[in-house]
Copies of this chain bind each other. A is one copy, B any other.
Amino acid sequence: MEKRTSNKSSLAQIAALLNDAGSVLIFPHLQMDGDTLGSAVALCSALRKQGKIAYVLIEDEIPGNLRFLDNGYCTSDYSGMEADVCIALDCSDWMRLEKRQEVFNNGKQTVLLDHHATSQPSFAEYWYVDKEASSTGEILFMLLKEMGVVLDAEIAEAIYTAILTDTGSFIYSNTSASTHMTVAELYKTGMDHNKIAVEVYQRKRLEKVKLFIAILNTMEMICGGKANLAVMTQQMLTETGALPAETDGLVEELRSIDGVEISAFLREEEGKVRVTMRSKTKADVSKIALKFAGGGHTKAAGCTIPGTIEEVKPFIIEAICEELDSIEG
């Protein structure tokens, strides 16, 4: 297909596109988290309630603690699907649509909503990126308002899941007064926030817990105790039966130790290592990620480096210690 022009748009424009569409395909990013899937389900539910054809297209498995979100919205059987609007949610770059890229491009109009600081939105014709928003869920809440959608408990619970998970239960620095105001509005629909908390946090899969234990066993303190690092091998996945996506929360667990400013989590993949990093206060992990052609936010960033864990580890440790030295200097 020919290259189409890409434009930063207002939420009002995007709301109009969606209201005018008869069919909409919604694209969460690969390795789904609560924000991408919660936002997708909320939008899909709202569109179907307007009488439109709408689906959430996925290509990997929904993490166990998020399966409650899918009330018949998600499908991974999308070959040849076409729609008036294809909208990607929380998708900071084109690669995160992977096998669904062609279906996305077949949309008569393509849209992206995102909140990542390093967002590369130009793969969509219309895009809205709010780097101040805690989550794509918070942006979606504003979009639904623009569309004139009246929220019900189901939609509110999906948006709540998005905000809850992306703010680490409202404590990450991305949480703002506006995040709490949004959540107060969601409560007014009569949603059951306690049900969501139990689903998300108290139905941990045994396989996931076993994987966490295996990964935590590899934890090592680096840079004089100011940072730490843990790794996951493919063998751990096989032995525990856990899914690759079931490492969410692990790197935050590493960071919760006193004195640790940066945490890094290294995942073995085919011929490469995926690195996820978090900082606690002043360190900027997106600077480290950028050195390895990755990206993210100041306090949450990642990159993918060719090689094995043993090959990659020394470079990551060096870069982390350098960043820690620079903030002390």
Q: Kindly state whether residue A171 has any CB partner on chain B within 8 Å.
A: yes
The answer to whether A180 and B184 touch across the interface, beta carbons within 8 angstroms, is yes
Chain B nearest CB from A65 CB (Å) reads 8
Chain B nearest CB from A17 CB (Å) reads 31
Cα A258 to Cα B164 with chains together (Å) = 19
Among residues of B, the one whose C-beta sits closest to the C-beta of A259 is B206
**B-side contacts of A169, CB under 8 Å:** 169-171
Binds B, one of A21-29, A105-113, A144-152, A187-195: A187-195
Contact with B along A146-190 (1 / 0, CB 8 A): 000000000000000000100001111101111011011101100
The answer to whether B213 and A219 touch across the interface, beta carbons within 8 angstroms, is yes
**B-side contacts of A175, CB under 8 Å:** 193
Cα A255 to Cα B209 with chains together (Å) = 11
Chain B nearest CB from A293 CB (Å) reads 28
Q: Kindly state whether residue A281 has any CB partner on chain B within 8 Å.
A: yes
Q: Kindly state whether residue A217 has any CB partner on chain B within 8 Å.
A: yes
Q: Kindly state whether residue A15 has any CB partner on chain B within 8 Å.
A: no
The answer to whether B256 and A202 touch across the interface, beta carbons within 8 angstroms, is yes
8 Å CB interface, A205-246 against B? 205-206, 209, 213, 216-217, 219, 221, 225
Q: Kindly state whether residue A197 has any CB partner on chain B within 8 Å.
A: yes
Q: Kindly state whether residue A203 has any CB partner on chain B within 8 Å.
A: yes
Q: Kindly state whether residue A64 has any CB partner on chain B within 8 Å.
A: yes
Of the candidates B181, B201, B202, B258, which one forms a contact with A184 in the assembled complex, judged by CB atoms under 8 Å apart?
A: B181
Chain B nearest CB from A164 CB (Å) reads 7
**B-side contacts of A221, CB under 8 Å:** 206
Of the candidates B64, B187, B258, which one forms a contact with A176 in the assembled complex, judged by CB atoms under 8 Å apart?
A: B187
Cα A156 to Cα B133 with chains together (Å) = 22
Q: Kindly state whether residue A48 has any CB partner on chain B within 8 Å.
A: no
Cα A204 to Cα B257 with chains together (Å) = 5
Cα A61 to Cα B81 with chains together (Å) = 64
- A residues within 8 Å of B by Cβ? 64, 164, 169-173, 175-178, 180-181, 183-185, 187-188, 193-194, 197-198, 201-206, 209, 213, 216-217, 219, 221, 225, 255-259, 280-281
**Beyond A169-B169, A181-B184, A206-B225, 16 additional pairs, beta carbon < 8 A:** A169-B170, A169-B171, A172-B197, A175-B193, A176-B187, A180-B180, A180-B187, A198-B280, A198-B281, A202-B255, A202-B257, A202-B280, A204-B256, A205-B257, A209-B257, A213-B216
7 contacts between A and B (CB under 8 A): A171-B193, A180-B180, A201-B256, A203-B256, A206-B259, A213-B219, A217-B217
